[in-house]
Structure 1
């Protein structure tokens, strides 16, 4: 972890809140002029703190009305299976997130599909692509809170 100063943390927080904000606005909010602010943003990108800038979209407006959290239990814990799983996950655009977990399940996926028929098709492709010991699916009924912004401390230290 990099030791970010207060201004860097404020820049990161502002960009996570709205990456389309002009440099002049970010600079004003963090107490810098534009050039030093831009240089700090470039350094944060170079150091891997900022990994990209994207637009967030409403999944329902794009036809992705079904969000599914899938627990996967691996048949074994070999390097070969993990590598195969990683390759399969990369080829399935419905998978929004994939996490290797500690605890009762081995992997947790967040999947976005238009409807139950699309989920069934996804499920078949996933289970045909590699051996899986067990799959448990949980369907989201309502998204109550969603953010991509980490709770960065922007107070003085």
Structure 2
């Protein structure tokens, strides 16, 4: 979907605070409330805006340890991939899950309270599916974290009509 400059401004504001009232968003982008709301609805219908969520403080909900888990497997077929994905769906500790290129087949970001909780997660994981190699790296500190996507690369329509 092509976006114009106003759409990009709206998305920038929503990525910072999805609870911002539509009237305020409209005022900041130079639109009245109704046209601004229509644009937001259109971006939701088109799937540009997938959902609006609350971002929690991991430490305050007792999942302050982040573990990056690299998985290698000897199974490289659609059936096994679907099975593995289904297994991972059972683990709320896995907050991100990717199929990778290169030496690692899959990469997960896992959040847990402590190393013992990670060990319990690991034992449950390997009891549900056969993996060739699992390597874990514990994050020592978070340097940058954002859920905001860069909008500089969005396809922009010429809005000077």
Q: TM-score range by the shorter chain?
A: over 0.9
The structure 1 segments of at least 4 consecutive aligned residues displaced by more than 2 Å after TM superposition are: 153-157
**Pairwise CA distance, 1:132:** 0.6
Alignment coverage as a number of residue pairs: 156
Deviation at 1:75, TM superposition (A): 2.1
What is the aligned partner in structure 1 of residue 105 from structure 2? 106
Query: 1:2-151 counterparts in 2 under 5 A?
Result: 2-151=1-150
Q: Is the 8 A contact 2:97 2:106 kept in 1?
A: yes
CA RMSD of aligned residues (A): 1.6
Q: Deviations over 1:103-128 (max 9, x none)?
A: 11011100000111110110011111
Cα distance per residue 1:47-88 (max 9 Å; x no partner): 000011011111011111210000011221011110101101
| Unmatched runs of 5 consecutive residues or more in structure 1 | none
3-state SS, counterpart of residue 148 of structure 2: coil
TM-score after normalising by structure 1: 0.95
The answer as to whether partners of 2:68 and 2:139 remain within 8 angstroms in 1 is yes
Matched residue SS, 1:147: coil
State the alpha-carbon separation in 1 of the partners of residues 73 and 5 from structure 2: 43
Q: Retained in 1: the 8 A contact 2:4–2:157?
A: no
Are the counterparts in 2 of residues 75 and 131 from structure 1 also a CA contact under 8 Å? no
Give unpaired runs (5+ residues) of structure 2: none
